[in-house]
Each structure stands twice: as C-alpha cells, then as structure tokens.
Structure 1
C-alpha cells in the first residue's frame, strides 16, 4: 500500500499522544517502522515501560489554591519552561525528510530542550544553527578515542549546553523485529557526524568471542568517563543508569546528572521498567545531582508520577518520532503541547502549583 502524505494540520481525532502511533505507521515503510517500534528480544521491557505508569496511581487533592502555578525549572544553569525534553533518537530522516532539522524547530517553538544524537542525519553544527532553545549533545564513545574527543570539541564550539553520554548500549541489543524486517539504512541516510572516522580492525584468534573480544573490544569503561570529566567543562550526564552501584560510581567521578533509562527496551530485554528503577537511584543520589527519566512517557500524568518518584525532568523518544513521522515539525510541536497541557491539568488536580510541590505522597505504587 502507498504511504499516506504528511499531515499539514492536526485532525481532531489526534487528541492524545498515543493517537499519533497509527498516523505514523501509515506514513512509514516496514523498514523504518521496525526501527522505531521495536524492542530487544521478546520486547518485555519495551512493553513494561508503559505498563509501569498504568500501574501507578495518582492521589488527587481537593480545594488547593494553585493560582500562579507554572512548570518552570532550572537544570544546569538553564531555565526550562517545562520538564519535557526531546530524547536523542538516531537517523531521524528515516521518519521525515527534514529529520533533526524539523525536530529542532519544533523544540524552539515549544521552548523544549533537545538532545541531539551522535547518529543524527544532519551535522551537529547545522542543527545548532537552527536551535533557539537549550541543545544538548548525546555522545556514543567511538573506538577511536581522539575522534570521540573531537565530537565533544565540536559540540562545545557549536554551543551545546550539556553532554549526555549513553552508557547502556556499547553493543546493540538483539532486536528480532528489525531482523525479521531486514532493517537497513536506505541510501542517503547515514551518521554524518562520524564521517572520516578511522575504522578499527580487529582480527579474532581462534576461540575468541565475537562479542567479548570483538564487539566489546573498544567499549568504554569508567576510566573513559573519568577522563572525559577532566576534558570538558560542559555539564556531564550519563544516560542508561539502572543500577544503584553505577549511580554511586557516577557520583564519585563528578558526573553532573543521571538519566534513568533502559534505552526504551532496545538493548537488554527484561530490565525492569524505568519508572520502577527510579526510586532506588533517587535513594542513592539524595538530590545531589538531577535525575532524569525516559521510557514509556505518553501522558502528562506520567510526568507527574516520574517527578513524584525522584525525577527532575523526563525525555520522550518514540512520541517525538511518531509526531515527526505524521506531520514533521508540526507533529512534534503538537506532541509537546499535549503533554505540557496534560501536565498542567494533572498538577492542578493533585494540588501542585509548581514542580517542587510534586512529592512521593502524590502517587500510589499500584493503582487500585
């Protein structure tokens, strides 16, 4: 079947973020859909990220005066108008011809911070030139550490305001849905920011493991984080922290923030839902540095739940892509607007005038 044309206005039947999924599917081929709408292995973590929010209830409060309320917050010296950030998603031209350039314009329109992927389809400089809201750079360590440092220096020079190192995906997860679809990058779509990088070659001896001795041979370790902390003055966040012991190590190395994330269920299947992992990390951090969360956010009520359990802000990945695939920058703007408005409604009905008013007693661990 031919693909549907991109929307030029948002129809009334798109009332919630989840409504975008069907509109995105109608505009993406099987190859692109397998990439965005897949998880690792049996996709248990992928599903549970969403189910965790459904199983968490909110306590409403009556007769609270919330006049003058707002959703503003400060993160790393930056004033954000709301706690909804656009997560780093690779290869956004798979979903719309303008790719990250559409997303960064949407971020500007909605005063949203955007995290740009190492695997973007536009140069980090071109994206920065169109940015009018906070821009962070997501870093994948490359086998060539000097090339990796050059990416950091480019981000610094282009005006990126924070560095987000993904630490939970040194190798790709086993994504069977992609395998069954024969996923591939179409002609003309590539990780342009990695052009010119020397390619490492590693010959395996007989008996060596393709995973341990091959794919993981140049994987980053805590020593790389320690060195990077010494080499940049940008706020440094680690994305993909799920274990309290890793949170302790990050604190000891002077990391500025953590993102509790299981990579949208795309790397290691059966890792618990991000929302379930958050409280234990918050217990370790004790407010010393900001915690962010991604995975499963589809409603403004989800944001209140995440903040109540210890997050300072949240990131959205698939929702931004569903919006982008349906209607380009317009779709991303609408996704953000819906979530922001729903957040304000949820705050008002739980008696929270500001984000600082959101506390653990606003939630019930299991919905009745």
Structure 2
C-alpha cells in the first residue's frame, strides 16, 4: 500500500496505485504525489513546473523576457504564452526598471525583527504581497485543471498569510467561471478581476462575486488590448470614467482599477470611486515599448496622494523587488508569473512555499535597510543617481 498526497487540499490517502482524482477536492492525478516525492524546496517545485510547461516556460532563475528566454525566443507568430507582446520590450522594461533601483544599506542601530503585517481593503495580511490576477494555466500544455489552478492560488495565498486575486480569460463564462468556482470553494476568500467585458455581463459577474462572498472585485482595464480575447471572439472594451462610476455604484464591493500606467488616469479612477489603483502594464502582454511599472509608480503615487490604495506588479521576482516597489509608493505588490509556476509545479503547496520565500527575503531586505515595519518604508532607502551628492545625503 502506498500513501498519496494531494497538493491542492493536502489530503492524504492510502492506495496501491495512484488515485485518478482526489476524493476531497476533485484535483486530478496531475496534482497528486506519492508521499516520498512531495517537493521539499522551491527548486523542486520549479523543476516540476519546467516539465509541465515545456516549450512555454523553462523556469529560468531570471524571468526577464530576454531574447534568450524560451517565452520570447519562440513567440514570433505564435500565441505569446507567458512571454511579452511584440519584441518583449515592455516585459524586459519592467525588470530593467527595477534592476536600476538600488537600496541603501543601514547596519547601525538597535537589533529588531521586521514587522511585515499590514491591511489590504480591511483584510489583515502577514505581508503586503498578493497573487496577481493570472488565468489560463489549463491552456499551457494542459498543465493543470483551471479551477484547481485558481483554487491552488487562493488556498496557497491564504495559508501563507495573504490573499489572492484571480483573473479572467477567453474560456471563462457566466455559467462556468473557474475563478468564481474557486472563490466558492474558498468561502469567498479572494478577489476576482474581470476582463473589461460589456457592462451588462460585468454586472452579472459582480452579482456572482457578491454571492460567493468575495472581498472586492476589479476590472482588468488594460485587458481591452488582450490578444487572446480578440483571437477567440470575446468582446472587450475600453472603459470610460462613466462606465467605472456605473460599476462602482452598482455594488458595495470595493472596486480595483487594474492596468493603470498614467498619473492622470489614476486620479480619474480615484475620483470615479475606485478603492484601489493597480499600476500595471499587464506584465508587458498588451502593448510593446511601455515604461517599466517601477518608472511610473512614483509619478502615480505623487499624483493621487493618499486618495486610494496603490498596488504594483511587473518584474517583481524577489523580496528585494517587493521592498523597492513599496519604497516607490505601492501599498501592496502583486506576483504573477512566479505564482503560475508555483501552482503548476505543486498546487497549493507550491504557492504557499513561494510566498513564504518572498516573505522571508522581504524581512531580510527590511532588516538590512533599517525598516522596522511596513509603514516606515519610503524612498529614503533608495539611492538616486539623478541627485547630486548634497541632495542625496539631505535625506539623512
């Protein structure tokens, strides 16, 4: 008799042969491990993801959209998969913008343990890093069932002490929406982000989200440029300020305006009633040659001040990157591609392990820059090459 482990719900079972399906959560054999083969490290999780995503993502140590990476090298004339649109300049731009930012190391003072706790839309979190609103893992080599993917992201996020956003794509429908199906399985602990579909469809999706007990909802405003939606005849639209106001007034759920890259448009969303502005260029997947998110983030924070909560995603791979985004003005930071790989590799377990690694490195980064808690973090910990020596040291 062998012992088997479901990486989505952690159920243990005893069978001679590998179960076809988990009796508790309906996860299929792709997410079930012999207890002796359960991954013990993130590298093992990444290795499993590499095998499942062969030809789409090689799980490189540096996920930056460079031409030598398989996601860009083999994208010409094909669906972009996990790569960036066009020549991948926006994808690379996100990583390059973060790479240029340097942290000021502070080593004198009292010893302390950094406090990473925070609140996001009145939800208490152990650290300000959330799963971004990705979707479509089922279509990546049939790597895993889509609802199980969404469930893994939500459960893994919760077990790590944070919350997950869930996305929307061309095969999601009103009657069968994997994101909302997962929300039900997780008792509403999650936030759906819908593509900018017609207002009538969005209102029905919002009502479904309310029925699931979701904490908030959002619209992927930059999804109006989604190539995969257009390819499959799913209509998406640019949304006006009036459209946003209509959706805000339609529900009591907080509204997240995702995909904002201009300070003026961030302010317009705030004025329209958005609770959160998510600074994002869709991971470089909808328009080539945009600035990196880290470039635009401080400009947007300066424009909107404290009117809204701000999140940022794009090129964030480590806890050090998270700290940089927080110092540039984000209240919370989103992870996308890394969470896809973690979920594909080992379901809920993989997502939890990845988030715990990010939290650990964020605490290390905070400790080495003298940041005792999240509220302390600001631009003083960033070295600015654009300032002369006198201006730079005036910070201190």
TM-score, reference length from structure 1:
0.80
Structure 1 gaps of 5+ residues are 176-183, 186-198, 201-214
Corresponding residue SS for 2:85: coil
Q: CA deviation at 1:228?
A: 0.8
| Aligned positions of 1:343-358 closer than 5 A | 343-358=362-377
Q: Which residue of 2 aligns with 1:96?
A: 144
Contact 2:327 2:379 in 1 (8 A): yes
Contact 2:165 2:193 in 1 (8 A): yes
Distance across 2 between alignment mates of 1:36 and 1:277: 25
Q: CA deviation at 1:104?
A: 1.9
Pick the aligned partner of 1:298 from 317, 320, 323: 317
Distance across 1 between alignment mates of 2:338 and 2:254: 26
Q: Which residue of 2 aligns with 1:113?
A: 163
1:334 aligns with 2:353: yes
Distance across 2 between alignment mates of 1:13 and 1:335: 7
Pick the aligned partner of 1:308 from 300, 316, 327: 327
> How many residues of Structure 1 are paired with residues of Structure 2 in the alignment?
322
Q: Which residue of 2 aligns with 1:130?
A: 185
1:42 aligns with 2:87: yes
Which deviations, in whole Å up to 9, do the C-alpha atoms of 1:54-109 show, x marking residues without a partner? 21110111223353531111222221111110011112333323321222221221
Q: Which residue of 1 aligns with 2:104?
A: 59
Larger deviation: 90-99 or 274-283? 90-99
Q: Which residue of 2 aligns with 1:149?
A: 203
Distance across 1 between alignment mates of 2:300 and 2:357: 29
Which deviations, in whole Å up to 9, do the C-alpha atoms of 1:224-265 show, x marking residues without a partner? 101111111111111111001101211221211101000000
Which deviations, in whole Å up to 9, do the C-alpha atoms of 1:148-206 show, x marking residues without a partner? 2010011011111111211112132599xxxxxxxx99xxxxxxxxxxxxx99xxxxxx
Q: CA deviation at 1:296?
A: 0.7
Distance across 2 between alignment mates of 1:99 and 1:86: 12
Corresponding residue SS for 1:259: strand
Distance across 1 between alignment mates of 2:263 and 2:238: 21
1:249 aligns with 2:268: yes
Which deviations, in whole Å up to 9, do the C-alpha atoms of 1:130-163 show, x marking residues without a partner? 32784111022323x2222010011011111111
Q: Which residue of 2 aligns with 1:139?
A: 194
Q: Which residue of 2 aligns with 1:9?
A: 38
Q: 1:75 to 1:66 in 2, by over 3 A?
A: farther
Q: RCO greater where, 1 or 2, for CA within 8 Å and sep 6 or more? A: 1
Corresponding residue SS for 2:192: strand
Contact 1:49 1:296 in 2 (8 A): yes
Distance across 1 between alignment mates of 2:150 and 2:321: 25
Distance across 2 between alignment mates of 1:26 and 1:172: 27
Q: 1:12 to 1:248 in 2, by over 3 A?
A: closer
Q: Which residue of 1 aligns with 2:66?
A: none
Corresponding residue SS for 2:361: helix
Distance across 1 between alignment mates of 2:384 and 2:370: 19
Distance across 2 between alignment mates of 1:12 and 1:99: 20
Q: CA deviation at 1:325?
A: 2.1
Q: CA deviation at 1:29?
A: 4.2
Structure 2 gaps of 5+ residues are 1-29, 58-70, 72-78, 387-396
Q: 1:310 to 1:133 in 2, by over 3 A?
A: farther
Contact 1:248 1:284 in 2 (8 A): yes
Contact 1:111 1:133 in 2 (8 A): no
Pick the aligned partner of 2:49 from 10, 24, 43: 24
Contact 2:98 2:324 in 1 (8 A): yes
Q: 1:132 to 1:151 in 2, by over 3 A?
A: closer
Which deviations, in whole Å up to 9, do the C-alpha atoms of 1:5-38 show, x marking residues without a partner? 87743355829xxx93x65332224368665421
Q: CA deviation at 1:122?
A: 5.0
Distance across 1 between alignment mates of 2:334 and 2:210: 22
Corresponding residue SS for 1:30: coil
Distance across 2 between alignment mates of 1:12 and 1:93: 24
**CA RMSD, 1 decimal:** 2.8
